C-alpha cells in the first residue's frame, strides 16, 4: 500500500512515533510518505534543538536510510503550538493519491480541516490521539472541547473512523465524545534495534566522563520546563543523599532560557551531587545515556522515553499519575507522590540501597516488560493492520 502519514511537525532526528512507525512500515514493504511542514524551527516543540536549520539534509539522510519519502509544505506561522498551513495542503494530499492516510493527532487545526473537508479528499483515513487530560493546559480548553464535540465528533461518528488512543486513557471519549468502540488502544513503544542493554557502551561512557563503576548513575532525558518538572528534578538533587555510594545525575535536555529555566539552572548549580549535562540529542544518539546509567527518572507527567529507558534495562521512577501507575506495576520501578520531593528522593534511595540481586531482577523486569509488549516492530504491525482494514472497508463501499 501507499501509506501517507500526515504529521504537522516532523523532525528526522527525533524519536517520535511517526519516525519509528514510518521506518517499520517501509520495512514491511509499503510505500511510505511523510507529509509535514516547513519552518519547523517556529514550533515550540523543537525549541533549543540545534538541528532545525539544516532540515533538508536531515530529511535526505532519513529518506536514504529508511526508504521513506518526506514532503514539506509551506506554513504561515505557529500559534499556541498549532500550525497554520498556507492554502493547498488538501489538494497536495489528494494529488499524492495514497491508499490510506494516517493522520497523527486528531485535534490539530489541520486535522480538523481534513475532517470537515473529507468529502473532497475521499481517501481511507485513520486518526490517532496523543492527548492526556494532565497535558491539556490551554485556558480555552473547555471551549475547544465543546466545539470539537459539536462539530468534529459527529463527522467522526458518522464515518465510523478509527481514532487510535496512544495512551491508555479515555480523554478522547470523556472530553471529545468519541465512542469507545472507535478508539482502540495501541501504546507507544521503543525501537529495540537501537535501545538495549550494552555493558561495553556503559564502560566506555563511564571511562570517558570519569564515572566510577561503583557510582550509582541516575539519568533524566527530556525538556526541563515546568510541565516536565525541571525544578522538581533540580531540587531533588540539591542535597547529598545519605548513602555510601556516590550518586551521579546525567541530564540530557535544555532549559528554555526563560525565568523558569533560569531558576532550574540556578538550582542545578547549587547541587552537592555531581551533575553531568548534555544538550538535547538526536534519537539515535540517546541509547548510550541509558546504557551508562542504573536508573531513569521522570519527575512530572509521563514520557515516551520511559520505553527507551526500560528497553535498556533501567528501572524507572515517575510520579503517581494513572499512566505511570499502570506502567510501573510489573516490578519494573516505582512511583512517588506527585510533587513530593522527599518521596521522590526516598524512592531513589530505595533503588540505591536495594539488595544487588533484587535490583538486578528489577532491571530484568524492565527489559522484559518492554521487549515482550512494546517493541515498535510489533506495534507497527498493529497500526498497519488497522490501515489495511480501513482500506478494505473503503473498497467494499465502492
Confidence (pLDDT) at 140: 73
The span from the CA of 277 to the CA of 337, in Å, is: 26
Q: Strands 82-85 and 75-79, how do they pair? A: antiparallel
For the chain, the average pLDDT equals 94
Q: Strands 295-298 and 69-73, how do they pair? A: unpaired
Cite the beta strand spans of 136-209 per DSSP E: 163-165
Nearest to 116 by CA among 125, 291, 243, 66: 125
3.40.640.10, 2.40.160.40, 3.40.50.2000, 3.40.50.1110: CATH of 199-373: 3.40.50.2000
Residue found by looking up cell 551508562 in the block = 292
Asked if domains 2-189+375-393 and 199-373 share a fold, the reply is: yes
Confidence (pLDDT) at 197: 98
Confidence (pLDDT) at 123: 97
pLDDT tens digits, residue range 12-62?
988 889 999 999 999 999 999 999 999 877 676 666 565 556 788 999 999
DSSP state of 149: I
Residue found by looking up cell 471529545 in the block = 176
pLDDT above 70 coverage of the chain, percent: 95
**What architecture is domain 2-189+375-393?**
3-Layer(aba) Sandwich (3.40)
Confidence (pLDDT) at 122: 95
pLDDT tens digits, residue range 156-209?
999 999 999 998 889 999 999 999 999 999 999 999 999 999 999 999 999 999
Of the listed ranges 75-84, 266-275, 384-393, the least confidently predicted one is 75-84
pLDDT tens digits, residue range 340-360?
999 999 999 999 999 999 999
Tell me how many helices (H) and strands (E) the chain has. 17, 14
The span from the CA of 323 to the CA of 289, in Å, is: 24
Examine the pLDDT at 263 and tell me if it is beyond 90: yes
The span from the CA of 73 to the CA of 39, in Å, is: 9
Examine the pLDDT at 141 and tell me if it is beyond 90: no
Q: Left (φ > 0), alpha (ψ -120 to 50) or beta: where does 136 sit?
A: beta
Domain locations in the chain as residue ranges: 2-189+375-393, 199-373
User: Is the Cβ–Cβ distance between 148 and 131 less than 8 Å?
Assistant: no
Q: What is the pTM of this model?
A: 0.91
pLDDT tens digits, residue range 277-318?
999 999 999 999 999 999 999 999 999 999 999 999 999 999
Nearest to 294 by CA among 180, 216, 232, 184: 216
Amino acid at each position: 500500500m501507499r501509506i501517507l502519514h500526515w504529521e504537522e511537525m516532523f523532525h528526522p532526528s527525533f524519536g517520535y512515533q511517526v519516525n519509528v512507525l514510518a521506518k517499520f512500515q517501509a520495512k514491511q514493504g509499503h510505500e511510505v510518505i511523510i507529509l509535514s511542514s516547513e519552518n519547523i524551527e517556529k514550533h515550540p516543540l523543537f525549541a533549543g534543538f540545534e538541528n532545525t536549520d539544516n532540515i533538508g539534509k536531515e530529511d535526505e539522510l532519513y529518506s536514504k536510510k529508511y526508504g521513506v519519502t518526506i514532503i514539506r509544505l509551506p506554513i504561515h506561522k505557529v500559534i499556541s503550538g498549532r500550525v497554520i498551513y498556507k492554502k493547498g495542503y488538501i489538494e497536495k494530499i489528494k494529488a499524492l493519491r495514497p491508499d490510506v492516510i494516517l493522520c497523527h493527532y486528531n485535534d490539530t487545526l489541520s486535522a480538523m480541516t481534513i475532517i470537515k473537508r473529507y468529502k473532497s479528499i475521499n481517501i481511507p483515513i485513520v486518526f490517532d490521539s496523543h492527548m492526556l487530560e494532565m497535558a491539556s493546559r490551554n485556558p480555552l480548553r473547555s471551549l475547544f472541547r465543546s466545539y470539537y464535540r459539536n462539530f468534529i465528533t459527529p463527522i467522526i461518528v458518522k464515518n465510523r473512523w478509527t481514532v487510535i488512543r496512544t495512551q491508555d486513557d479515555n480523554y478522547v471519549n470523556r472530553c471529545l465524545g468519541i465512542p469507545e468502540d472507535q478508539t482502540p488502544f495501541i501504546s507507544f513503544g521503543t525501537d529495540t534495534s537501537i535501545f538495549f542493554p550494552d555493558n561495553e557502551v556503559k564502560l566506555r561512557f563511564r571511562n570517558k566522563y570519569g564515572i566510577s563503576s561503583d557510582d550509582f548513575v541516575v539519568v533524566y532525558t527530556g525538556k526541563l520546563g515546568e510541565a516536565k518538572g525541571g525544578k522538581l528534578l533540580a531540587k531533588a538533587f540539591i542535597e547529598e543523599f545519605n548513602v555510601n555510594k556516590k550518586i551521579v545525575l546525567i541530564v540530557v535536555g535544555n532549559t528554555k532560557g526563560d525565568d523558569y529555566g533560569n531558576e532550574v539552572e540556578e538550582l542545578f548549580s547549587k547541587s552537592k551531587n555531581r551533575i553531568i549535562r548534555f544538550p538535547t540529542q538526536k534519537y539515535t544518539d540517546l541509547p548510550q545515556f541509558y546504557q551508562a546509567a542504573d536508573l531513569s527518572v521522570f519527575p512530572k507527567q509521563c514520557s515516551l522515553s520511559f520505553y527507551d529507558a526500560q528497553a535498556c534495562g533501567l528501572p524507572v521512577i515517575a510520579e503517581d499519575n494513572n499512566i505511570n501507575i499502570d506502567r510501573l506495576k510489573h516490578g519494573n520501578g516505582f512511583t512517588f507522590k506527585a510533587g513530593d520531593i522527599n518521596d521522590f528522593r526516598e524512592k531513589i534511595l530505595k533503588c540505591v540501597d536495594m539488595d544487588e540481586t533484587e535490583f538486578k531482577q528489577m532491571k530484568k523486569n524492565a527489559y522484559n516488560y518492554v521487549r515482550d509488549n512494546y517493541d515498535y516492530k510489533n506495534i507497527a504491525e498493529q497500526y498497519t493492520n488497522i490501515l489495511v482494514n480501513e482500506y478494505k472497508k473503503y473498497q467494499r463501499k465502492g
